[in-house]
Amino acid sequence: MSDTGPAPRSTTPRTVLISGASIAGPALAYWLHRYGFAVTVVERAPGLRTGGYKVDIRGAAVEVAERMGILEDIQRASTDMQTGAYVNDDGKRIATLPADIFGGRVGRDDEIMRGDLARILYERTRPDVEYLFGDSITSITSVTSTTSVTSIASATSATEQADGHHEVDGVTGLHGADGNDGAGGVDVTFEHAAPRRFDLVVGADGLHSTVRRLVFGPEEQFVRHLGAYISAFSMPNDLGLDREELYHALPGRLVCAYSSAGDPAAKGLLVFRSPRLSYDHRDPQQQLALLETAFGGVGAEASPAGGWGQVPRMLEAAREAGDFYFDGMQLIEMDRWSHGRVVLLGDAAHCPSPASGQGTGMALVGAYVLAGELAAAGRAPEEALGRYETAMRGYVAVNHALAGKFARDMTADSRRQIRFRHLMMRVLPWMPWKNLIAKKIAEDFQRAAQAITLKDYPVPNRAAGPASAAARPTYAA
């Protein structure tokens, strides 16, 4: 990143609260600390979430990781996947291809377990950022410059929440009767910690964002279901996989088992088509029941459903896994991502669903852009939030379109379609135009991964890394 001049200065660092300590939150905390902000991250989980599936770092996200100084860390923790193969009901490999073809990766693109990336970001920010684990925001109150309260959004009372919101340009948000946007800051209450006031609040708390619900309204109005559900979990590596992923297709369902470098365990991935289902996203027992309904009988002896014999073992592993994950493949679509001094980042703002393979990259890129615009804007955060959104909108749109395409392609309609796919994969390695096919597979991913041009934001005139209070750039009134 080039040094384009000193950041604006004032007398005191500005305070930012980030909700969510997965990827987007700590990535933003890293950049904000470099720009001299005082950052607090609140996370509902009692500690760092280390589970999850493998995630891709492609295109612009590779450049951001390099500017952060974590690209080598990512490369060292790479899954180093070697091959991918489809298997039949007996577990026999039908066709095997290089793993990068499955992932659409080229050049410096890489893949890492989500938990490993979360750990890298946390370790980079832990010395300089305040983390509040095992806590959550319960209310957000916009405050005018003269300290009068303009609005309250509460997580504990639906009635209070409705009363504290007003329609502004068609979006439910934090706004007072006098039209003030909270220029004096934001008062926040927590489940456990004492109430505090911040200059800015960032919702980086995922698909089911609490900040989004409090400030913009119920989740349902922003969700577009892509017609499928996905589950991921750790499982014993009984198959002896070594940096290999195995896929098994059934009509309307997809099964995957894989192992990554340095992990003695394996991971399971189960995908099934379904209209939107009603369940508690914090209740794993409800989610397990839905998963077992979708895959019940698959792979069992003498079952008319047929299927790979590993599926019953995978369902058992899902029930026992400490990192069990289940959610819909859903997009978050919003007309705006900020209101007053509250802004959304990553999946909270524009979740592209796991079908895109781009959620993690978008989180890293979004954190870089948001922090850079805030630093450049000084004491005019509203201008910064507008520029952040303008810079990201086209990038998000391309990735949402990619998600819609691949959500349909992940599961086949019929056994006939599955047999055709297997045939094409079986003959591909012997075809003279195989490299063109591989290039075509990667094109959609690469177009989406590179659909943004990164700006060079002003940086402090000092070496990258932790800053002393004296070295922090501050902001002019």
pLDDT digits (tens, 9 = 90+) for 142-159: 997 654 444 445 444 333
Q: With contact defined as beta carbons under 8 Å apart, do 214 and 140 qualify?
A: yes
Block mean pLDDT (10 aa), the chain, length 477: 43 83 98 96 95 93 98 97 93 88 87 97 98 98 64 42 33 35 82 97 98 98 97 96 96 96 95 96 96 93 80 97 96 97 98 95 98 88 94 98 92 91 81 70 89 88 40 31
343, 387 contact by CB (below 8 A): no
At a CB cut-off of 8 Å and minimum separation 6, what does 2 contact? 456
Taking the CA atoms of residue 217, residue 220, residue 225 and residue 228 in that order, the dihedral angle to the nearest 10 degrees is 120
* Phi and psi at residue 355, to the nearest 5°: -60, -25
User: CA 300, 305, 311, 313: dihedral to nearest 10 degrees?
Assistant: -20
pLDDT at 197: 97
Structure token pair of residue 244: 């290999």
- pLDDT for res 303: 66
CB neighbours of residue 405 within 10 Å: 14
What is the model's pLDDT at position 105? 87
- Please give the pLDDT value at position 181: 47
- Tokens 């056994």 correspond to 415
One-letter identity of residue 72: E
**For helices 359-377 and 381-409, angle between their N-to-C axes, nearest 10 degrees:** 170
Q: How far is CA 327 from CA 208, 299, 330, 396, in A?
A: 10, 23, 8, 20
- What pTM was computed for the model? 0.87
pLDDT score for 157: 39
Given a contact cutoff of 8 angstroms between Cβ atoms, the answer to whether 370 and 345 are in contact is: yes
